Structure 1
């Protein structure tokens, strides 16, 4: 939720992370004064919301069939309806990710110790838009965090988690762990995306930017463009602003606390809207609304670019039919079923974009580009 999302997932199974961006339909205002930066416990006001459907848009409801994929998915979903099992599986997934970080030369403890010395309460006050509302599903445990992306732990750990979970992304046999795997995945997204663009963008929106990894990646590719990163977690945006101070600050990179479905940014003002590892962490209802918002933000001819897990990948299809692998995956990716059975290409075209062009950017990922008509 990468996106709005620290996002944890098990890389050994080809799983991913990103901060999710959610649909602002629920009143759930953070009170920064009630948040403890050591052991987060925030107060929320939450209205009820109907849970997203898992039906497939093309009418082919996966759950109605008896394929190995649907049977395995149903079995795993049943397991995760039992809360003690969910907590156990999430804890195991988190431990594996932390251990891998040490194995690839990025131990978590020293970096987290440094981050905890900073005065984060002031960063949160500056970053947070108290008018932002959160849907109920954004407030649930997510990616092995009790408070999901609305926590300091999630925000502090996102970059460490990215390096850990993507360490074997280009090695399907899992024989080699590459500490630069995450950077290579993002670079591959840019290499495959740029040739599909009609023009060089001068104004970019990065939806689900988390702490800014994807935003600065776009800035490096398009250094002369204004790039705005948007994320629903004020904790992520706080860390993004902090990281920006550590880098060479650039006025052409900005971060905004907000929802991707309604950013508040001006209509028809941008050449490129990017979503990097966001959609698989959302119910399809939210993804559709984000596509709608992207269409509003873009100039005619502007591009929507998405880097995501590829549901057509043999590796992912194999994982879904392996109940043990899929169980580990579901511990941190509760909306993956909804993503993999969602015809995102059709949804993009139906909103007024050209039919998307897509290409592989890793053995498990794809780059999708469509232009506003």
Structure 2
């Protein structure tokens, strides 16, 4: 992603809004990305994402994960704790996941997928509780209840999940709006590109926040 942004001439603000030099940014558009600071190209094959680092803690975690029997126990235990914690907060984790997996997502995927697209290996390797990596169907189905759980943990005093989400999402939505008003010279937002948005939960909030946008795209 960083390489793509750099080639496009984009830089990112601390709030995650991408800016193009004069004459290169599409007019009346806002791009949101999960990056900060100048975009730096990273080319060639990577064994792991650059952000994973080589700290003692990351090496310890890597060693524990590499030991398959221990990793399996860790995975099952942590997964069950996460789900139980979410359901105690009235997040219907299993119900939401089942609804997605029993929908027509597989048929939709077959219609739109590009067979020539090659995913980086680290997206397909076991990660967190997912043996098939973060691009698995289960990971996708559990993404929304997981984000709801994170919001509730971030705002434990919120009276409801909806209110916790409103507070968490509202902070960065307001930051984007303030940034836009400061630098856009009051131009109307016509297009939004949400980069690094997982399954697009944040994209829906962006569409609601900026109803003038005619095209709201997740990437």
Are 2:179 and 1:196 equivalent residues in the alignment?
yes
Number of the residue aligned with 1:164 = 149
Are 2:68 and 1:83 equivalent residues in the alignment?
yes
- Count of residues in correspondence between the two structures: 173
- TM-score, scaled relative to structure 1: 0.40
CA distance in 2, matches of 1:215, 1:135: 23
Are 2:212 and 1:227 equivalent residues in the alignment?
no
Instruction: Give the CA deviation at 1:89.
Output: 2.0
Indicate the structure with greater helix content.
Answer: 2
Instruction: Give the CA deviation at 1:112.
Output: 3.2
CA distance in 2, matches of 1:74, 1:113: 35
Matches within 5 A, 1:11-30: none
Q: Is the 8 A contact 2:101 2:138 kept in 1?
A: no
Secondary structure of residue in 1 paired with 2:192: strand
Instruction: Give the CA deviation at 1:73.
Output: 4.5
Q: Is the 8 A contact 1:145 1:154 kept in 2?
A: yes
CA distance in 2, matches of 1:221, 1:176: 21
Quickly say closer, same or farther: Cα 1:71–1:110, change in 2 above 3 A: closer
Instruction: Give the CA deviation at 1:99.
Output: 0.5
Q: Is the 8 A contact 1:97 1:165 kept in 2?
A: no
Q: Is the 8 A contact 2:49 2:122 kept in 1?
A: no
Number of the residue aligned with 1:184 = 167
Q: Is the 8 A contact 1:98 1:107 kept in 2?
A: no
Partner residue of 2:47 out of 32, 47, 51: 51
Secondary structure of residue in 1 paired with 2:161: coil
Q: CA RMSD in A?
A: 3.3
CA distance in 1, matches of 2:216, 2:141: 22
CA distance in 1, matches of 2:158, 2:210: 31
- Where does the alignment leave 5 or more consecutive residues of structure 2 unmatched? 1-33, 35-40
Structure of higher RCO (CA pairs closer than 8 Å, 6+ residues apart)? 1
CA distance in 2, matches of 1:182, 1:84: 37
Partner residue of 1:211 out of 191, 199, 206: 199
CA distance in 1, matches of 2:65, 2:134: 20
- TM-score, scaled relative to structure 2: 0.65
Secondary structure of residue in 2 paired with 1:131: coil
Q: Is the 8 A contact 2:207 2:216 kept in 1?
A: yes
